[in-house]
Amino acid sequence: MFWDEEAARQGVAGQTVDAEAQFDAGGFGARLRDARLAANLSQIDMSKLLGVSQATYSRMENGRIEPSRVTSTLLERASQAVSRSMAWLLLGSPVRARVRLAARRTDEQDVRIRAERALGLMELDAELDDVAEFTDLGPRVVDDPVWQRFVQPMTHASRRQGKERAEHLREALGLGVEPLDDVPAVLEHNLGVDAAVLDFPDGLSAVAAFDDERALAFLAVCASEPWVRQRFSFAHELAHVLFADGHAYDHDHRHSPTEMRAEKFAQNFLIPEAGVRAWMTEQQYEPNDRVTRNDGCRLADLYGVSPTTAWIALADIGAAPKEQAPTSASAAVVAGTLARHQTRERSCHAERVPTRVESRILEAFRYGFLSADATANALGQDPDILSEARAIVDGPRTGEASDVPSPA
């Protein structure tokens, strides 16, 4: 993201950069190439944005450029084009080196490149900690986050562990057996886990990232996924956090014990068995009755899960309908909630940056640490909105008093 020229001369950990002595042309070119690919830009696109010839730009990526050619103007343009700080372009980032990443994917493409949106947000969040003038503005990552209190690694994985951990977590957080209206809000407000909906490339459906140095867990699901699938993916990734088995670059095979445990955790976290039994009693079912297909559709809609997940939850207590589970859209028709289903589907595909991170980025924009373009890129928003808001949200610069309270 674009800071100012002075910020470009600051290392990621606040170290002063001697550009002539420490400039690594090879590293700079490699970072520029990775960021360009993540931004889905061609070398021709970048050469135009930087105001250089394609041949010159190609030499940059190949590490064949003199330090004197890397001017503050070129860095600023590159920073805005690829949504990376100038400090990162010059020096790289320890955040990316230390973050542990796990992902649900359907192919063998490089996860770190494809999860660039998530890594970029984590990196920017850490950079805001490193700007001295910004250290008193929040909300920062808290010490001893709530989610760490529930982490309990287990040597052997089983479905029963997933079910029991979900039940215990609901009880400990005071969630009862009621439907969870907003799963990301539960992750953020009840557990201190950052939750995001981001545009990932095809083949990447969810990411769990860990920055141990900052005690941060960051979960992100793909914006193109259906609403019920996003909710389930959030809960599934949370299981990997709590069982401490999301420490590799990829999750195990979908039929492995750890994956099946995470699936069972997600199911019972979203639609707990006790809630299903209570609902059946309210619907005047006897303990050994099978639920009708229509009521199964209503149960799925009530708890915000796919009909398949509702059918599995009912099968666990011997009450699944005899018919196969329909699609979510068909279930919404049966439940009489088609308009709500369509509204959920339309709204869920917009990017959602974690609330805490969004607040910090907007605060940095208000205090002049981030440009409108950089802020818009980070948040996945229209830069015109930020530009228009500048006149009314432009806060004091360093050393000036503010009459606007910091976020809680």
Residue 277 lies in a domain: yes
Residue 22 pLDDT grade (very low, low, confident, very high; cuts 50, 70, 90): low
In the predicted structure, residue 23 carries a pLDDT above the cut 90 = no
DSSP-based three-state secondary structure for 195: strand
Please check whether residues 161 and 186 belong to one and the same domain.
yes
Is 201:114 a contact under the CB 8 Å cutoff?
yes
Taking residues 199-219, report their average pLDDT: 90
In the predicted structure, residue 251 carries a pLDDT above the cut 80 = no
Q: Which domain holds residue 46?
A: 1-92
CA dist., res. 75 & res. 86, Å (int): 6
387: number of CA atoms within 13 Å, CB side?
5
Please check whether residues 113 and 254 belong to one and the same domain.
yes
CA torsion sign for 51, 56, 58, 60 is: negative
pLDDT tens-place string over residues 96-142: 788 888 887 766 566 777 888 898 899 888 878 766 455 555 666 76
Alpha helices in 51-102 (DSSP H): 54-61, 72-82, 86-91, 94-98
Place of tokens 């009459």: 403
Q: Give kind and range of the element (H or E) at residue 231.
A: helix 227-242
Q: What is the pLDDT of residue 71?
A: 86
pLDDT tens-place string over residues 145-158: 899 999 999 889 99
Residue 406 lies in a domain: no
Place of tokens 């950079």: 127
Please check whether residues 45 and 161 belong to one and the same domain.
no
Please check whether residues 220 and 134 belong to one and the same domain.
yes
Closest-CA residue to 248 (of 105, 152, 37): 105
Residue 391 lies in a domain: no
Please check whether residues 83 and 216 belong to one and the same domain.
no
Of 336, 361, 389, the residue that ends a domain is 336
Please check whether residues 75 and 195 belong to one and the same domain.
no
Please check whether residues 115 and 257 belong to one and the same domain.
yes
Of 243, 262, 281, the residue that ends a domain is 262
Q: What are phi and psi of 84, to 5 degrees?
A: -130, 150
Residue 222 lies in a domain: yes
Please check whether residues 76 and 155 belong to one and the same domain.
no
How many domains would you assign to the chain? 3
Residue 236 lies in a domain: yes
Structure tokens at 100: 């542990």
Residues of the chain with pLDDT > 90, as a percent, come to 50
Q: Which segment of 239-243, 254-258, 355-359 scores lowest on mean pLDDT?
A: 254-258
Please check whether residues 231 and 287 belong to one and the same domain.
no
pLDDT tens-place string over residues 213-231: 888 999 999 999 999 999 9
Q: Which segment of 319-323, 342-346, 377-381 scores lowest on mean pLDDT?
A: 377-381
Please check whether residues 61 and 108 belong to one and the same domain.
no
Residue 238 lies in a domain: yes
Q: Which segment of 74-88, 240-254, 333-347, 352-366 scores lowest on mean pLDDT?
A: 240-254
**Single pTM value for the model:** 0.79
Residue 320 lies in a domain: yes
Of 240, 262, 284, the residue that ends a domain is 262
Please check whether residues 78 and 104 belong to one and the same domain.
no
Please check whether residues 74 and 206 belong to one and the same domain.
no
CA dist., res. 357 & res. 196, Å (int): 10
Residue 330 lies in a domain: yes
